[in-house]
Amino acid sequence: MCHCTSSNRRIHPGAGPLVAPAPWLHPPAAAPRDRALFEYIGATGLTVIGPASGRRYRFERPGAQVGIDARDRGALERLPQLRCLSAA
């Protein structure tokens, strides 16, 4: 049985968020040698989750270019809607 009262569960102003943001919302910047540049050649838009890094990549429109973590390169190269612009 819980003996909590509402006074024991106060929320303090300025205490910050109760839930931490997802790490893929603000991925850390990688050094240029750790990235590959991809261009979207599909018809609308595309969101891809990198299988190795877990990062979310958003290609807003045809022709959009996005730098991706080099660990995800192999998987993204297999997608027909994406073209790798970085040298191998």
Is the Cβ–Cβ distance between 9 and 49 less than 8 Å? no
Distance CA 66, CA 33 (A): 15
**What is residue 6's predicted lDDT score, i.e. its pLDDT?**
47
Distance CA 35, CA 67 (A): 6
Distance CA 62, CA 83 (A): 11
Distance CA 40, CA 62 (A): 5
Distance CA 31, CA 58 (A): 20
**What is residue 88's predicted lDDT score, i.e. its pLDDT?**
56
The domains of the chain are located at 40-88
**What is residue 52's predicted lDDT score, i.e. its pLDDT?**
95
Low-confidence ranges of the chain (pLDDT < 70): 1-33, 87-88
Q: Which pTM does this prediction carry? A: 0.61
